[in-house]
Each structure stands twice: as C-alpha cells, then as structure tokens.
Amino acid sequence: MEKAKGYEGWGIVELFGHQTIAGRLSSETVGGCPMLRVDVPETEGAQAFTKFYGSGAIYAMTPTDEATAHMAAHSIQARPVELWIVPTQRSLPAAEDKNFL
C-alpha cells in the first residue's frame, strides 16, 4: 500500500471563520491526527511563529512561491497567541440583608 503524500511548500490558507494565514506549509501528525503546519515568516512588526490546523478548519489552500507567501503574510499581519492576563476572580460582596431573596 502506498503512503499518502503530504504537501510541502509555500502557500496561503483560508480558514473557516473568515481567517487567512500564509507561510511555509507542511503536513505533520500531532497526537495521532494529521495536521497542516503553517510556519508564518517574520514580517515588519511581527515575529515568526508556527500554527497547526486540523483539516476541518481549512476551507481552501493556494500553493504559491516564497515571495508571494511573504507578501501575503505581511498583508495579513497574523499574530501568534498572546498572553492573556486574567484579573483575579472577585466574589460578590456579602448582602447586608440576609433575607434579600
């Protein structure tokens, strides 16, 4: 039996949720699941980063040359996950009247 051939190259990926990302594309298995790896190149004002997508998240994929993928990445300005600072959870103040409800 012949093993399925994965894609490796530059491209633009359209994702469900009206998102687009561009970079170096490759197939990779993560946790036993086939994933599309997108290595987004560094652009002016944004560091390089990697994202993995399952097939259910992908609407379309357009292979391109490296220069086109770089231009698209610069235009899209996708960002890596940023640290979210969650304020400490606060409880409601105690009710003055214990028979309120």
CA distances from 50 to 15, 78, 79, 86, 89 (A): 15, 11, 10, 24, 32
Domain layout of the chain by residue ranges: 8-76
Q: What is the pLDDT of residues 1-20, one digit of tens each?
A: 555 677 899 999 999 989 99
Is 70 in a helix, a strand, or coil? helix
CB 54 within 8 A of CB 97: no
Q: What is the pLDDT of residues 42-99, one digit of tens each?
A: 998 789 999 999 999 999 999 999 999 999 999 998 888 766 666 665 555 666 656 6
Distance CA 43, CA 39 (A): 12
